[in-house]
Chains A and B, each alone.
Chain A
Amino acid sequence: MKYAYYPGCSLHGPAKGYDLSVKAVCKNLDIELWEVPDWTCCGASSAHSFGHLLGLAIPAQTLVPAEQEGLDIVAPCAACWQRLVWVNHEVTTNAKTRDEINQAIGAELTGSSKVLSIMEAVASAGMEKIAQATKKPLKGLKIAAYYGCYYVKPPKVAHVDDPESPKLIDDIMAAVGAEPVDWPYKTECCGASLGFVEFDTTLAMSAKVLDYAIKSGADMIVTACPLCQQNLDMQQSTINKKFGTNHKIPVTYFTQLMAYAFGMSDKEAAMHKNFTSYQSALAKLG
């Protein structure tokens, strides 16, 4: 299996651990990733608020090399993924917009490369293969799988899974031996890039997500989005200070936990690059 790979800005910056663990997990599952050469930013969360065409043309460029190579493309960042999905949606359903996009980027996009989320790419290897690759089953580790909003809403365009009750990451976590918990805030927004604009509101939004994950009995939250991860992990101590809470729940990318289950050490899976302490949760595994 071979996919074009679009890491996006976050995975080369704050979400390095995500990039690294995505690559490790794919390697273990015989999924080859071909990084789009000299890729550019997808424009989220700003370009689309400057103009509809601008918001589509900027990410559209990334799809050109993938289409030329005849490969489906994987984008592990939820915002990048949704921007690319929007491009394909418009290219395949709106001829006028398609022509304008192509004119803006000087190419002939047809929408032939499917845009996959990292969960879909990983799951394409098959749950059986994931279970077979697992060397250290995460037995007894209770996981709150947090999808955030962009992968599942609006469902007419972005539909990795059910918009209110998705299961794909839960299933993957179960395949590596962990115990996914049922919880109500799976697809509630963490505040995303509003953290740059209205920091206090973002903290309040993320605080609710943390609260429900903990109340649902989770030892750990896993995400598939750099913004979710940063809001819940990096800002957790700030949230505690602001709301007088004492949350200590580790937040990792689900691929980090997979890499760990596949036999990598916590450091090799770059878990120490996260801000929340994960040792006590992993200690449960013995």
Chain B
Amino acid sequence: MSTTVNLSQMQKDHGDFIERVRKLSGQDVRKCYQCGKCSAGCAVHNCQGMDVSPNRVMRMVQLGMEEEVLKSKTIWVCVLCSTCTTRCPRDIDIARVMDALRILSKKNNTFVNAKNANTFHETFMNSIIKYGRVYEAGLAVTLTLKYGYGFNLIGIGPAALAKGTLPFFPPKLKNPEQIKKIVENVEKIERMEGEK
């Protein structure tokens, strides 16, 4: 399958994409010269976990292929292990670029190819906002119900319960609303920042 990409039009429509990525990640993707070291060492890519290799993501950011990048599965399955960052001869923190692309993808609501990732992160955040800590058993059950597996709960859950390593009840904090408060404060700060 081949697709035609109109690069002039891309630049016209998304020419500032690379600049927005830079602002959010502090990384200048322009520096990438496509050596491919990031992809060669990527543990996820090497297990066929990605739809676009990391070096291609960098090139797509350079070309202004905003929609395609933000729709990719790659940015959501990246585990932020930072092997790419460690080995990048151009000193780009590629993992931070991936994280910035996630933030943009979330804002644009474009996780077409990574629905599970979105469900996981939302469920996780809800858990810590509610309890102040992760409620693992609750998280695993919710995810299993939502998309069929939550860290292999069905496979190993019973044994984990028997070993007492999967606490049945949610964590109890003196002040469980600490994270909720921080989330609200961050929203306020970012709103003010956006109005500037």
Contact = CB atoms under 8 A, between A and B. Distances in A.
Interface stretch (A9-17, A23-31, A124-132, A249-257): A9-17
Nearest to A192: B79
Contact of A149 (B83, B128, B132, B133): B83
Contact of A46 (B44, B116, B121, B150): B121
Contact of B116 (A188, A197, A238, A273): A197
A49 B165 contact: no
Nearest to B43: A189
Contact of B83 (A9, A153, A195): A153
Residue with the greatest number of chain B CB neighbours at <10 A, chosen from A155, A163, A195, A196: A196
B86 A155 contact: yes
A154 B86 contact: yes
B121 A153 contact: no
A16 B93 CA distance: 34
B175 interface: yes
Contact of B186 (A9, A51, A149, A194): A51
Contact of B171 (A12, A47, A61): A12
B174 A198 contact: no
A105 B133 CA distance: 17
B125 A46 contact: yes
Interface size bracket, B side = 35 or more
A204 B44 CA distance: 9
Interface stretch (A36-44, A138-146, A259-267): A36-44
A258 B164 CA distance: 22
Contacts, number: 182
A234 interface: yes
Contact of B185 (A47, A55, A103): A103
B152 A199 contact: yes
A230 B173 CA distance: 25
Contacts of A9: 133-134, 136, 171
| Interface SS of chain A | helix
Given A46-B121, A49-B99, A52-B24, A16 B133 contact: no
Interface size bracket, A side = 35 or more
Contacts of B143: 196
Contacts of A214: none
A122 interface: no
Given A13-B166, A41-B179, A104-B185, A238 B47 contact: no
A168 B106 CA distance: 39
B121 A49 contact: yes
Interface string B142-156: 010000011110011
Nearest to B185: A104
Given A189-B43, A196-B143, A49 B106 contact: yes
Nearest to B50: A201
B17 interface: no
Contact of A191 (B79, B106, B120): B79
Contact of A153 (B24, B48, B81, B116): B81
A41 B134 contact: yes
Interface in A85-108: 100, 103-106
Contacts of B151: 195-196, 199, 230
A208 to B, nearest CB: 8
A254 B121 CA distance: 30
Contacts of A174: none
Contact of B132 (A41, A49, A193): A41
Contacts of B167: 12-13
25 contacts: A9-B136, A10-B134, A13-B134, A13-B167, A45-B80, A50-B125, A52-B24, A52-B103, A54-B182, A58-B179, A103-B185, A104-B182, A104-B185, A104-B189, A153-B81, A153-B82, A153-B86, A189-B79, A189-B83, A192-B79, A196-B124, A196-B150, A201-B44, A204-B47, A205-B43
Given A16-B164, A194-B44, 12 more contacts: A14-B160, A45-B79, A45-B80, A50-B125, A52-B103, A104-B189, A149-B82, A189-B44, A197-B114, A197-B117, A204-B49, A235-B152
The 10 closest A-B CB pairs, nearest first, are A149-B81, A201-B49, A189-B81, A153-B82, A204-B47, A154-B85, A154-B82, A9-B134, A46-B121, A189-B43
